[in-house]
Amino acid sequence: MNRTGWLRARAGVMCPRRSRPRLGALVALVVLVAGSTAGAKPPKDALEAGAYPASFRLAVAKTIQRGVERLKSMQAKEGHWGKADDEHVMGHTALALLALTKGGVDPQDEAVRRAWTRLAALPMRTTYSVGVYLLAVHARHAPLVDVFSLDDPASDASRARRDPALIRAALSEAERKVLSEGVKFLLRTHGKTGLWCYRIDPNAPGWAYDLSNTQYALLGLRAAVACGEKVPRATWERALEGVLGVQAEEGKRASLLDYRLKDGYALVKKKRASARGFRYKLDKKDGPKGPWTEFTYPCSGSMTTAGIVGLTIAREGLGRRVPGALRKRIDTGLRDGLAWLQEHFTVTLNPGDPKIHHYDYLYGLERVGMLLGRRWLGRSDWYRAGADHLLALDAQGGWGEHVPTAFAVLFLKRATPPPAVTGR
């Protein structure tokens, strides 16, 4: 498991934009694993930044294996997951396959082979499905890194990323076709507002576009780029505008806790922020103040993680050439979105919309942590808290059907590849 992001010299929101040399990541890693200086008094308000206990690592590994076995038991004999006539059957199948792949299942395993065969026979119909399919193709060729491998300072940090040119060379013609057609599909479902809708529909009204579809479209495009595909710069720019547009305009004042590492501790650094979450859509309904005065959808944890991930991926897609004014808006959006997550942090439900999308939210927390290189939200270690909760639910009988089970495995594996670490 690569934790390069939060093992850089500064574990904050600005790290992915200013990527650090690999040497800096490894030096920071040594500091983390070494722990505090023997006998030294911990700095005030500091958090210990050491490795996770061996007992916790073992429990996580065993739980991941059980989750993988459950997923395999849920697969239909034809190779898919979910209902065969569901329009999202490609997405359900690709999601389970992604979890199996990240979970370390042998590529020649019968369940994996049947899933790939089934996917090849399915048409591309929805944004969700295509986005996850592209993630699965990339995962098939990405390095398989143990979830806790970088707790060892002797570990090779470069293993979590692979040169897109090398992946491209290893792809089969069928896989190249999937990537090419997948990117074309996602470019056609991208709306003028900057958000994505469910399917290709040139006449789709503005309300048909939402942040959830957008998140999976951007994840899929990022995976395609990691496999050597090209995405127009205008797509990333328009996506940024769309995602920023569904963030709340106002929010409660907050102090976002950021961190800098020193002597094995994470020292708290505060940033002024407005806790502004993200919504599924900007639809409005009639409210106490009159017609169309109240938002239909609340700000929620699942959508705020989606917004943060969307901004991060689109910024990554633009590379270093981000205009100053746009960079400032992105940084503000990320800062305030993180402040919202910090102020509403929990792992037991989806904050803001507690009756639905709990596991989607947890997988969103994983993506935020990995893409932004953050180990903590506020003073909470998001991974330890989430993993402890998932382990407790597993002990009670599991996580339910194939979708939440896949999300749980992906969370526990910290499956999202961090941004590339390059010199500057």
Tens-place pLDDT, residues 23-81: 333 333 333 443 444 456 777 777 877 889 999 999 999 999 999 999 999 999 999 99
- Three-state DSSP class for residue 325: helix
**Tokens coding 227:** 């496999």
The mean per-residue pLDDT over the stretch 97-114 comes to 97
For 220-231, how does the pLDDT look when each residue is reduced to its tens digit (9 = 90+)?
999 999 999 999
* Residues forming beta bridges with residue 380, ordered by sequence position: 377
Q: What is the mean pLDDT of the chain?
A: 87
Closest of 273, 271, 272, 269 to residue 251, by C-alpha: 273
Name the residue range of residue 401's domain: 54-259+268-412
Closest CA to 388 of 371, 403, 408, 407: 408
pLDDT tens across 149-195, in order? 655 544 554 456 789 999 999 999 999 999 999 999 999 999 999 99
Within a domain: residue 22?
no
Q: What pLDDT does residue 293 have? A: 62
Q: Per the domain annotation, does 32 fall within a domain?
A: no
For residue 275, pLDDT over 50 is answered with yes
**Percent of the chain, pLDDT > 70?**
86
Question: Model pTM?
Answer: 0.87
Lowest mean pLDDT among 124-128, 199-203, 393-397: 199-203
User: Does residue 46 sit within a domain?
Assistant: no
Q: Could you tell me the pLDDT band of residue 138, with boundaries at 50, 70 and 90?
A: very high
Q: Is the pLDDT of residue 15 over 50?
A: no
Q: At residue 267, does pLDDT exceed 80?
A: yes
Judge residue 256's burial from the number of C-beta atoms within 10 Å of its C-beta, 0-12 exposed, 13-18 middle, 19 or more buried. buried
Asked if the model's pLDDT at residue 22 lies above 60, the reply is no
Q: Mean pLDDT over residues 202-217, rounded? A: 91
Q: Which of the residue ranges 89-98, 205-214, 215-224 would you say has the lowest mean pLDDT?
A: 205-214
pLDDT exceeds 70 at position 318: yes
Taking residues 283-292, what's their average pLDDT? 75
pLDDT band at 19 (very low <50, low <70, confident <90, very high): very low
pLDDT of 294 over the 50 cut = yes
Gap between the Cα atoms of 175 and 177, Å rounded: 5
Domain count, the chain: 1
| Confidence band, pLDDT 50/70/90 cuts, at residue 290 | confident
Q: 132 in a domain, yes or no?
A: yes
**CATH number of the structural domain spanning residue 330:** 1.50.10.20
The Cα 66–Cα 174 span in angstroms is 32
**Helical residues (DSSP H) of 3-126, grouped into ranges:** 22-34, 54-73, 89-102, 110-121
Tokens coding 108: 């020649």
What's the whole-number mean pLDDT along residues 306-328? 95
pLDDT digits (tens, 9 = 90+) for 335-380: 999 999 999 999 999 999 999 999 999 999 999 999 998 999 999 9
